[in-house]
A and B are shown apart, each in its own frame.
Chain A
Amino acid sequence: MTTAAAPVATAEEKRRIRWADLAPFIALGVIVFIGILINSNFASSANLINVITRSAFITIIAVGATFVISSGGLDLSVGSMMAFVTGIMIMTMNGLAPSYGSWAIVMGAGVALVVGGLCGLFNGLIITVGRIEPFIVTLGTMGIFRAFITFMSDGGSLPIDRSLREAYRPVYFGDFLGIPYPVLITLAVVLLGAFLLYRTKYGRRLTSVGSNAEVARFSGVNVSRVRTLAYVIQGLCVGVAAICYVPRLGAATPTTGQLWELQVITAVVIGGTLLRGGRGRIWGSVAGALILEVIANVMVLSDMVSEYLVAAVQGAIIIIAMLAHRFTSSR
């Protein structure tokens, strides 16, 4: 028998430190350190809070994407979906504002969540019931949602009603004990996501589906339902992100959320979630989103590299992260 039948030892339950799991956090630390060296303003609390707040949208959507990707799926439509949900939400709020006043904001937020969830459900059902590759389905819906927002805004801007601006503004610009609301909302989404993924039966089933869908099917897991739910969770996260986003710019445009899907997938993957499914790292995705935002910030603060190259550096990061992963995992 293997290793002469060493019976079950007990000391082994101690958790070993796995460097690969810590890599995104170490990378984040290194980039922050570099930022401090380059520009002393970087470490100011105002700047740091600003950076974290701005990363909120990508982080929130990345939490949902962690579910989708862990289940073995992919959602390219999140950026367009975000714009579409934003548009619907603004139209709802504007429509309800005359009769309900500030309550229209709450109702609009509710509509955003419902519409986001439905968009996700739509993606999920086509993928699972229609048995079409997630890449293809969400490529299609990406175009559809993008066209919808362009149509709704008539190619221009779809602003929120003036009467609502003041009441809605604090959702992005306000704070509680010095912590901006978007950061608190992000934290809530992340904690909820981590709880769902790591501590519930649903999370366990999702991981099993992503790890090997056949094994899950043979074990009585309803694979289609688990997968579809992952897209619904993604849609809900997009809804939350939209709620936080509108007070920042006050309008939806055809370019809202453009290319966010790439940032989101980058954040998730450099956070340590496997693109082929089976391993989700919620906190890693948070670190990934922060890395992207911090790099952009450091580049803006330093004069060495043009900020027009931010996307290039972010693109390079995902490649470097994957290379690092390859070299650390293949002993």
Chain B
Amino acid sequence: MNSLAHRAATKNARAPAAEVLRAEGLSKAYGAITVLSDVTLDIRAGEIHAIIGENGAGKSTLMKLLSGHVTPTAGDLLMEGQPLAFADSVEAENAGIVLVHQEILLADDLTVAENIFLGRELRRGFMVDDRAMNRRAAELLARIGSVARPRHRVGDLPLAQRQLVQIARALLDERKVVIFDEPTAVLANDEVAALLDIIRGLREHGVAVLYISHRLDEIQTLADRVTVLRDGRMIGTWPAAELNQRQMAELMVGRELDMLYPNKRAATSEEPLLSVTDLEVDQGAQKASFAVRPGEVLGLGGMIGSGRTELIEGLMGLRSSQAASVVVNGREISHRSVASMMEAGLVYLTEDRKGKGLLLDEKLAPNLTLQALEAVNPATILDRRAELAALRKAVADYDIRVRSLTLEAGKLSGGNQQKLLLAKLMMTDPSVVIIDEPTRGIDIGNKSQIYDFIDAMVRAGKACIVISSEMQELVGLADRVLVMRAGRIVAELSGGEINEGNVVYAATSGAHGSTGEDLHDHSGRTRRDS
């Protein structure tokens, strides 16, 4: 893509950037709790301005203030020098500021074009002009490199394509400021690259882009300037070229980082804790055989859509699947279900923390003990004292930061939700733990803690399988890596072979591989050929 020299040239070639949006002493408090205090920030036309900070640092609040979703308690917003106050996000959008949400907020049963134009339908007379909308939607989708068709039903699209539809919706009207809230969290690497190109395209058009992400590598290649928030305060703004990733991370946490990843280990026994032979998952994976031994972290890599999650959900009996043999802890498992696997000592932590992991409206204790209900409450009657004791222990052991033990799980930050989820699984005293995207969307402090938890459990003789889209994480954490492509395990890497280059190569090209074509076609995804 863009060479460094080319980027530098375009950067310099731009005229002295005009300030589009300015925040002066912006603050937001909910009752006595100040979540953002005294932020002063200028955003210029034709720049990509990254906002970084740990979860809870106030990034989301800042974005919501700038896009009119919440109103500030103090401070001013100036748009091209004129003071502004938004009653709601619609007024902000009319002023040319739009927020692309992290969550996908689309109507599944409507088509792509209907979603893009929702609330802004084109009309001919008093009829909705479908043809014109489909045409404009097609142009827009082509511009941002989406393969989705205007008439596709959104619910049938893969997550990444839905994300692009959401972006298309935001870009329908001319915008002066576009705010992206972690747009790449659900995307695979090639999709990320495409999205970053779209964002660079916006910059070339003179749009001011605000960009929030936890992926510091993205920020380094993308951003012109970086603003760091910590604990609701602004730490400062720097040209991106002046910071490396480590410095950014240190500014975010406010201290020097220890090593993020624990030291590697080696299996302590050759006898596997889990061995799977010829697992076939309907519309997901073929002929998958693998084993994991005590004392090792097995990484499972591959692009999103390569069948990693499907493989594991099939293994757990959450999808229809067949296997020649599945042995957990020396026990042959004939009927696979979450319950029977748990009994045998195998548990799975989903990548979808909010949709499949936690009951967001329920309190912490019911969430913690849901899976291990039998173990915590041997009798039919719930033992509330035991549940509370378990919660206290989990909060202490997993450093879950909560104001109160009677909060709802949905009120926790992402990192604390993830720790609660991990604690929930460990309640069942498993010997093999499969964790899908262990640190997606959580900040670096929590990340490092979760790596330590994984390290500790493995050193205690358990085995862990980690699925991750983050190459650094896979490389940093795993003692052995399996790479999947198009529903098949195409490579096994160990020791010195484990590096980002090898994983990406195996995931995208490699020798195997024309088999899974139909898998990809059904999800409307394009794939690279070898």
A residues near B (Cβ < 8 Å) are 1-9, 12-13, 199-205, 207-208, 211-212, 214-222, 278-279
Contacts and interface: CB of A to CB of B under 8 A. Distances in A.
Contact of A218 (B357, B381, B395): B357
A3 B34 CA distance: 9
B405 A12 contact: yes
A201 B406 contact: no
A2 B401 contact: yes
Interface in B442-457: 445
B29 interface: no
Contacts of B360: 212
Interface string B355-375: 111111110001000110110
Contacts of A211: 359, 361-362
Interface string B423-455: 010000000000000000000010000000000
Contacts of B392: 8
Contacts of B388: 13
B381 A199 contact: yes
A201 B382 contact: yes
Given A4-B231, A219-B338, A208 B413 contact: no
A222 B340 CA distance: 11
Contacts of B445: 1
A8 B395 contact: yes
Contact of B382 (A9, A199, A208, A214): A199
A5 B202 CA distance: 39
Interface of B: 33, 54-56, 231, 318, 337-339, 342, 348, 350, 352, 355-362, 366, 370-371, 373-374, 377, 380-382, 388, 392, 395-396, 401-406, 412-413, 415-416, 424, 445
Given A8-B402, A8-B405, 8 more contacts: A6-B403, A200-B381, A204-B370, A211-B359, A215-B355, A217-B338, A220-B339, A221-B370
Closest 8 CB pairs of A and B: A12-B404, A220-B338, A220-B339, A2-B56, A219-B371, A211-B359, A214-B356, A218-B356
A208 B367 CA distance: 9
A1 B401 contact: yes
A196 to B, nearest CB: 10
A203 to B, nearest CB: 8
Contacts of B370: 204-205, 208, 215-216, 219, 221
A221 B416 CA distance: 24
A203 B377 CA distance: 13
Nearest to B382: A199
Contacts of A8: 392, 395-396, 402, 404-405
B373 A201 contact: yes
Contacts of B352: 214
A13 B413 CA distance: 20
Given A201-B374, A218-B356, A207 B362 contact: yes
A215 B361 contact: no
Secondary structure at chain A's binding surface: helix, strand, loop or mixed?
Answer: helix
Contact of B373 (A205, A217, A218, A279): A205
A9 B404 contact: yes
Contact of A200 (B54, B382, B402, B403): B382
A21 B348 CA distance: 36
A215 B357 contact: yes
B395 A208 contact: no
6 contacts: A1-B415, A2-B416, A3-B403, A199-B382, A218-B338, A278-B362
A69 B17 CA distance: 58
Contacts of A219: 338, 370-371, 424
B50 to A, nearest CB: 21
A204 B356 CA distance: 17
B348 A218 contact: yes
A70 to B, nearest CB: 12
Given A200-B382, A208-B362, A215 B356 contact: yes
Contacts of A218: 318, 338, 348, 350, 356-357
A211 B392 CA distance: 24
A217 B318 contact: yes
B355 A214 contact: yes
B296 to A, nearest CB: 25
Contacts of A217: 318, 338, 356
B359 A215 contact: yes
A208 B339 contact: no
Given A2-B401, A8-B395, A9-B403, A204 B361 contact: no
Interface centre among A4, A204, A215, A219 (most CB of B within 10 A): A219
B395 A201 contact: no
B55 A2 contact: yes
A13 B359 CA distance: 20
A220 B371 contact: yes
Contacts of B415: 1
A89 B382 CA distance: 36
Nearest to A2: B56
B443 to A, nearest CB: 8
A95 to B, nearest CB: 38
B152 to A, nearest CB: 24
Contacts of B381: 199-200
B406 A12 contact: yes
B485 to A, nearest CB: 26
A219 B55 CA distance: 26
Given A1-B56, A201-B377, A279 B318 contact: no
B399 to A, nearest CB: 9
Contact of A1 (B33, B54, B373): B54
A215 B358 contact: yes
